């Protein structure tokens, strides 16, 4: 590693004690640096929020669209950065995953049509990025619309996708959403079924209590039924 890079790392490591100026970060950034160092520099710029975005914008114009600059745009939480990312999403399809991941914090502000389109993708990383966007949108949606959005990814056979859906659904407390989680308990793989049972227990409301009670009548003898009984007893104990 070059001495120049050592010096930059030293300054970055001391940034909590000695805050770094955005201009200095912009000056030391270079495509000639190691990738992890470029990422660390741009992450600092992103965390500087409204002071960091103008420098990031200059770097984008100077060096072009780079993965670390996309990520930093998401960290700075500036409206101008969001608009740039949305523009990039339309113009450079090959960067779709990176841009969607950067847009996660604005999930609540993004149109439903965009999220629905992402949730129709076959790629697992894109589906997971779409579900991360949905996580920030949940509180704005009716139960019916939420369940409609997750129906297609729910048919996905991959556990990471279903596990991510469970994490989204457990943010809601309603009988209809709890019933959907219960369907995963009855029809999912063992990892997703267990995660769904834990989700119902964590919701810890009268709706989830009723759902767990119904599952005891529906599940066959075995480890899942034993787990449902244990979670139900825990809820009753702390109720």
Tell me the CA distances in angstroms from 154 to 58, 100, 162, one per residue in order: 42, 20, 6
Classify 219 in phi/psi space as left (phi over 0), alpha (psi -120 to 50) or beta.
beta
Give the per-residue pLDDT at 238: 61
Q: Is 135 inside a domain boundary?
A: no
Within a domain: 223: no
- Classify residue 26: in a domain, yes or no: yes
Q: If you average pLDDT over residues 164-193, what whole number do you get? A: 94
The reply to whether 228 falls in a domain is no
| Six-digit token string for 7 | 């010096």
**The predicted structure's pLDDT at residue 62:** 97
| pLDDT at position 85 over 60 | yes
Among 1-5, 55-59, 171-175, top mean pLDDT goes to 55-59
d(CA 43, CA 129): 20
Measured CA to CA, the distance from residue 96 to residue 93 in angstroms comes to 5
Arithmetic mean of pLDDT over the chain: 93
Distance CA 181, CA 103 (A): 27
Q: Which of 48-62, 85-99, 160-174, 207-221 has the lowest mean pLDDT?
A: 207-221
122 confidence band (pLDDT: 50, 70, 90): very high
Whether residue 28 lies inside any domain: the answer is: yes
Cβ count near 197 (within 10 Å):
26
Asked whether the predicted pLDDT for residue 129 surpasses 50, the reply is yes
- The range of the structural domain enclosing residue 55 comes to 1-92
What's the number of domains the chain is made of? 1
Q: Please, which pLDDT band fits residue 190 given cuts at 50, 70 and 90?
A: very high
Residues 21-79: tens digit of each pLDDT: 999 999 999 999 999 999 999 999 999 999 999 999 999 999 999 999 999 999 999 99
Query: Is 46 inside a domain boundary?
Result: yes
Count CB neighbours of 18 within 10 A: 7
| Predicted TM-score (pTM) of this structure | 0.88
Is 145 contained in some domain? no
In a domain, 207, yes or no: no
């Amino acid at each position: 590693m070059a001495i120049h890079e050592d010096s930059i790392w030293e300054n970055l490591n001391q940034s909590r004690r000695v805050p770094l100026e955005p201009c200095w970060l912009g000056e030391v950034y270079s495509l000639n640096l190691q990738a992890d160092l470029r990422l660390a520099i741009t992450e600092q710029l992103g965390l500087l929020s409204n002071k960091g975005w103008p420098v990031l914008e200059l770097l984008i114009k100077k060096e072009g669209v780079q993965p670390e600059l996309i990520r930093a745009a998401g960290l700075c939480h500036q409206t101008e950065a969001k608009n740039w990312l949305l523009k990039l999403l339309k113009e450079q399809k090959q960067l779709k995953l990176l841009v969607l991941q950067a847009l996660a914090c604005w999930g609540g502000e993004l149109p439903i049509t965009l999220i629905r389109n992402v949730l129709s993708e076959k790629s697992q990383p894109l589906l997971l990025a779409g579900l991360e966007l949905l996580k920030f949108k949940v509180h704005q949606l009716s139960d019916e619309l939420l369940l409609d959005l997750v129906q297609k990814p729910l048919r996905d056979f991959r556990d990471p996708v279903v596990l991510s859906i469970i994490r989204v659904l457990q943010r809601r407390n309603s009988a209809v959403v709890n019933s959907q989680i219960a369907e995963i308990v009855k029809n999912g793989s063992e990892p997703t079924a267990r995660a769904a049972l834990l989700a119902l227990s964590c919701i810890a409301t009268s709706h989830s209590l009723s759902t767990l009670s119904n599952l005891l009548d529906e599940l066959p003898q075995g480890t899942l039924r034993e787990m449902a009984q244990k979670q139900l007893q825990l809820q009753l104990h702390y109720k």
